[in-house]
Amino acid sequence: MTDADDLRARTRALLQEHPPATTDRTAFLEARFDAGLAWVHYPVGLGGLGAPRALQAVVDDELAAAGAPDNDPRRIGIGLGMAAPTLLAYGSEEVKRRFLRPLWVGEEVWCQLFSEPGAGSDLAALGTRAVRDPETDDWIVDGQKVWTSSAHAARWAILIARTDPDVPKHRGITYFVCDMTDPGVEVRPLRQITGEAEFNEVFLTGVRIPDAHRLGEVGDGWRVAQTTLMNERVTIGGARIPREGGMIGKLTATWRERPELRTHEFHRRLLELWVDAEVARLTGERLRQQLAAGRPGPEGSAMKLGFARLNQAISGLEVELLGTEGLLYEDWTMRRPELVDFTGRDAGYRYLRSKGNSIEGGTTEVLLNIVAERVLGLPPEPRNDKDVAWKDLAR
């Protein structure tokens, strides 16, 4: 049984054999993966040692103290937080060994091809089709996806598509890994209210996906997608941050540095948001402790719901505190960032970008339903289309 002392010894051996100061960054990360110190709770040979998930902090603390490089988790967050758990749960051994190492090292960026123009909040209504070619056993995919973060930088995508239109919408979906360099994949930028385009729409025309890149059984893609979605909401709303970190840290810094802006009313509202942010941070810690015992549950939806509301309230107070200065926006150029940078930009950017928090990763309305039904045990909303074949649904 791997324990904390064993992990410390393994980590120190890694550092001795591959000194961070003299080892190429990618080579160090590959060595860490091969030593089972990437995800300690993953199986041996897949970046882990089969150890309790809670022991990951032991490795991370040792490496941070030694100045070892990380894998830039914000840049590859979709791969780490959404694709990897799904690949581990449903991928073949060949798929897991092909994709997990370059994903964790950061050599291959991932994106998520789920939402469509007519299937966002009601994701199961998606219409992108995947038809099997009997001669090659490939799947031929045609359709359109939208709101795809980092598609312009991604090498691979997790994709759900309809493989059987004759059954109810939740049952005719299959889950795939899609090659974003396929000539049938076209990525177009979507310019946002911030002026940049981190999101995209993706058109799929005759894209061939080998059956070996299917995750789970044919028609069982909705169940597979739940693993992705639950992990996505934990990733968005449950990131580990220090006390007074993230958005609340920027607001409190402005408060301390600009005494001329202070009033008793702003002080009261700031204290309320600081307490809310601390409650959210501690709740996230409890959620991660729960995750150490198994797969994420619907509680991640509650965390993501709170994250969106809190970010919007904090950014709104920051702009209000700064007055006309808070409306200034230093960079309105059309940029194509690979990741969202909330704290490294100005208050105007934070205010505008936070509006998307209540949409991405599940809309507020959908998350409220999930919390009501799966956490509080309230009666579900009527669903008249539950037993209707997808092809017969009104669109």
Residues marked as catalytic? 232
Quickly count: other Cβ atoms within 10 Å of residue 203's Cβ: 15
Residue 294 per-residue DSSP state: S
Region of residue 67 (left: phi > 0; alpha: psi -120 to 50; beta: else)? left
**What is the phi/psi pair of residue 121, to 5°?**
-60, -40
Quickly count: other Cβ atoms within 10 Å of residue 336's Cβ: 12
Residue 374 per-residue DSSP state: I
**What is the phi/psi pair of residue 156, to 5°?**
-135, 160
Integer angstrom CA distances of residue 36 from 6, 13, 348: 12, 12, 43
Residue 260 three-state SS:
helix
CA-based end-to-end distance of the chain: 55
Distance CA 312, CA 276 (A): 13
Q: How many residues does the chain have?
A: 395
Q: Is the dihedral of CA 131, 137, 140, 145 positive or negative?
A: positive
Assess contact for 10 and 36: CB atoms under 8 A. Answer: yes
